[in-house]
Structure 1
Amino acid sequence: MSEVVTRALPVVSTRIYPRGGLDVLSRNEVARLRDASAGGMHDLLRRCALAVMTSGSASDDPRAARDLYPDFDIQVLQRDRGLRIELVNAPAMAFVDGEIIRGVAELLFAVVRDLAYMAIELGPQYAADLETSAGITDAVFGQLRNARLIKPQEPNLVVCWGGHSISREEYLYTKEVGYELGLRGLDICTGCGPGAMKGPMKGATIGHAKQRQKQVRYIGVTEPGIIAAESPNPIVNHLVIMPDIEKRLEAFVRIGHGIIVFPGGVGTAEEILYLLGILLREQNAHLPFPLILTGPVVAAPYFEQIDHFIRMTLGQAAAARYQIIIGDPLAVAKAMKAGIGQVREHRKAAKDAYYFNWSIDIPLAFQQPFQPTHEAMAQLDLHHGRAPHAIAADLRRAFSGIVAGNVKEEGMRRIEQFGPFEINGDPDIMAALDALLQAFVAQRRMKIAGDYRPCYRVVT
């Protein structure tokens, strides 16, 4: 029985029972989720659950939902006949007539499922396994399989990257591209948030509907540090929370058959550098992996800046791994469809799985979690004379640190306590980096609303 409480922001206290995909947990898993001490995960569970229950929020401050609903709590209880989730002072926006919205409930169950998996399967006793590249890849596979995202089927999954803070014209363009992808039977995977993460999914729903496709996937891949700032958009029907940003990025590359990049900010730049750093390795030179950078005509200067930065820092070989298509959603969809066809033929010839890209070589430097402390950011090696993929790895870390300072609670606390991160390197790299970041600020790509205060300082 639900009890509705009237406050400044309406809340609901109720209990729900998971259906499908989360039927039972062990007593150990439930204890870890309930325990707020000794390494327990209750606080993390509460933050992630609140994020999915405020789906569609226009804020990118990870503390906003917590401040709006300070009395929210969630408890996972083991019962003889299965699980029971108790919600106390939950956001009323997640309910209709006292009943939780089905899509919200599914995302909530995904949160419990993934955090329980992390607590047990990726716990301290398995730390040694996560010190090797193969061990980390196995961990990524295990988490994706536990989320039921690993399914043998024809290659058709397009990963779409792009910013959460984009213009209306750019957002409408992402919908047009998604529509064309949906007409061609391609499913969508994004970072699960708003903006360029929502638009392709929304457009694809119409394309899929016109083709009368019912079994379609709108996959959202996130991680605990960012989900509160980029809560899942309402179209996501498969959510997975990876343990950290590096495993999140590896998940995109392993399950996706091609990637489309829309306009974005530092998070998008981080993703591009991550992928290019991998594709530039000699071991991956032969692998087909369609990568398209696209946006409306007004976004042409944005991609010119990105392209110039990549050519200057990583060289022409990096630029050869992607194509830029401006203002033509149809051309983007056709190019991606053709590229995925090449991926299929290569996987078939190599006897590699369609559903998980085992063949691509991801070195340990791209897999190990980077903790963006002030010391770690200052020690990044952004100098010429290194292999392009090594420079890409440290550039990726630089952008990852800025993302943390912008929208992750721990990173924001560090900035508030110690001031901006300092990034240094060769003068020409620093000048190009500073120009790119300043352009992001001027174009309001750093924050959804309000004035942006830089969390970084480029030392030239």
Structure 2
Amino acid sequence: MRPAVVDAVISPKGSLSVLSRAEVGKLLDASQGELYRLFRSCTLAVLNSGTDLDDGKELLERYPDFDIRVVPVQRGVQLALRNAPAEAFVDGEMIQGIREHVFAVLRDILYVSERIIGNPAFDLDTSEGTTDAVFHILRNAGVLRPTTQPRLVVCWGGHSIPREEYDYSKEVGYQLGLRGMDIGTGCGPGAMKGPMKGATIGHAKQRIVGGQYLGITEPGIIAAEAPNPIVNALVIMPDIEKRLEAFVRLAHGIVVFPGGVGTMEEILYLLGILLHPDNAEIPFPLILTGPTSARDYFARIDAFIADTLGASAQRRYRIIIDDPPQVAREMRAGIERVRAFRARRNDAYHFNWMLKIDRDFQQPFVPTHESMATLDLHKDQPPDRLAAHLRRAFSGVVAGNVKEDGIRAVETHGPFEIRGDGEILAAMDMLLADFVAQQRMKLPGKRYEPCYRLVR
């Protein structure tokens, strides 16, 4: 059945009501095909918020006639939408939160295109230049809070989780909210929505106003993880690597709930950074947690890390099972250590400049059959470098599962082949098999076709 669609014209609020002629022209110009395609696909994902779809290719195919155009008007710009998902509207008016997210997409895509890409002030081939670009994107989005004490807890976890795990993530968010913590997530459903929803209640009980519910995403994943309705600050980073760097630069601590390959990619990214010798003394609270039913899940994650990265990586996190108040207490104590450390070093509270992030974790990785087959998955290298290659392997599986380009590549050429040491591949095989068995690769009820093949 064809989904219900509507046509509408919407106007922005704030600074986006005024754009330069060059900025409007860039979006209007038919020759800027890639920019328009990016804007269209991200906007469609935002308009699709709340639906049970986690497949970027399927979303675009469901709304083939969706169109969005920038309309210059005397006092700024408007957006004309044609054949937009009807669920984004109430009585003919676009839901306010969705409208804000649509213009966040326009703001970030336009800023990156106009001010970052090709700008000699940002050398994206260097670590320092990349970090500076991440900072400027976040500052332009207005999400940095330089005058507040450290209190942002980033929560990672899967979009496809059972109800018990979702309720647990909500309870942890509630306990964090009671203690004045703000929440940042990947902005989607599941373990990204639960902590935000719980924190809103905790903040309300403590009469905390102005709580931040920050969602950070990127064009390749937004269709699979459309912003949930609680997100009040949305940022679209250019790629997954800058998205991950934004998380760890902004976070004062991270809580990880059960998830699938995307969550494992995030864990490996952070552990790889924390294992760098320059970061050995930097406090960074990291807690893995879930209900009693997730005990075996985290035992498998812990075993995988032990088998690949070793005991030094295991010492950088703590696993807490079925105890939301303890998670919140330990996170608050850890964030106090972060505050004291940064105060001694005169480092900013709102952006972790001191954290060393190597180019291995910043260079955008494009999952192709060639790049996936040539990953360096061997133990004869420092653990932080191995973590970087493992992160790329899981990133490729994410792409093959839910990203439009990755799905098409697998449909055309077959599954990605992943090669490496037998011991590492055996550990990956057990972990990925568990994810498949637990339906953590796709939304429940959808048959999973593996997008990868492990070659020993």
Verify same fold: TM over 0.5.
yes
2:337 pairs with 1:342? yes
2:155 pairs with 1:160? yes
**1:101 corresponds to:** 95
2:82 pairs with 1:88? yes
The one-letter code matched in structure 1 to 2:31 is S
CA distance in 2, matches of 1:398, 1:29: 37
Q: 1:146 aligns with which of 132, 140, 145?
A: 140
**1:115 corresponds to:** 109
Kept in 2, the 8 Å contact 1:160–1:261? The answer is yes
Where 1:130 maps in the other structure, the secondary structure is: coil
CA distance in 2, matches of 1:21, 1:57: 30
CA distance in 2, matches of 1:241, 1:34: 21
The one-letter code matched in structure 2 to 1:73 is D
2:265 pairs with 1:300? no
The one-letter code matched in structure 2 to 1:455 is C
**1:37 corresponds to:** 31
Distance 1:36 1:405, change over 3 A: farther
> Across the two proteins, how many residue pairs are aligned to each other?
454
Identity of aligned residues (%): 63
The one-letter code matched in structure 2 to 1:122 is I
TM-score between both structures, scaled by the size of structure 1: 0.96
2:365 pairs with 1:370? yes
After TM superposition, the runs of 4+ consecutive aligned structure 1 residues lying more than 6 A away are none
**2:285 corresponds to:** 290
Distance 1:410 1:127, change over 3 A: farther
TM-score between both structures, scaled by the size of structure 2: 0.97
Kept in 2, the 8 Å contact 1:242–1:248? The answer is yes
Q: 1:383 aligns with which of 364, 369, 378?
A: 378
2:168 pairs with 1:178? no
- Deviation readout 1:50-104 (Å, 9 max, x if unpaired): 1111111111111233233222111112333112111112112111111111101
Where 2:188 maps in the other structure, the secondary structure is: coil
Q: 1:57 aligns with which of 51, 62, 67?
A: 51
2:417 pairs with 1:422? yes
CA distance in 1, matches of 2:278, 2:428: 28
* Runs of 5+ unmatched residues, structure 1: 1-6
CA distance in 2, matches of 1:295, 1:262: 6
Tell me the CA shift for residue 126 of structure 1: 4.3
Q: 2:453 aligns with which of 439, 454, 457?
A: 457
Distance 1:72 1:278, change over 3 A: same
Where 1:124 maps in the other structure, the secondary structure is: coil
The one-letter code matched in structure 1 to 2:139 is R
- Deviation readout 1:297-347 (Å, 9 max, x if unpaired): 000001000001111111111000000000000100000011111101111
CA distance in 1, matches of 2:360, 2:15: 33
1:4-403 mapped onto 2 (5 Å cutoff)? 8-38=2-32, 40-126=34-120, 129-152=123-146, 153-403=148-398
CA distance in 1, matches of 2:15, 2:45: 20
**1:3 corresponds to:** none
Tell me the CA shift for residue 40 of structure 1: 4.2
The one-letter code matched in structure 1 to 2:366 is Q
CA distance in 1, matches of 2:30, 2:402: 24
Distance 1:38 1:13, change over 3 A: closer
Distance 1:265 1:36, change over 3 A: farther
Kept in 2, the 8 Å contact 1:32–1:40? The answer is no
The one-letter code matched in structure 2 to 1:386 is Q
Kept in 1, the 8 Å contact 2:219–2:237? The answer is yes
Where 2:26 maps in the other structure, the secondary structure is: helix
Where 1:89 maps in the other structure, the secondary structure is: strand
Kept in 2, the 8 Å contact 1:35–1:41? The answer is no
CA distance in 1, matches of 2:256, 2:155: 6
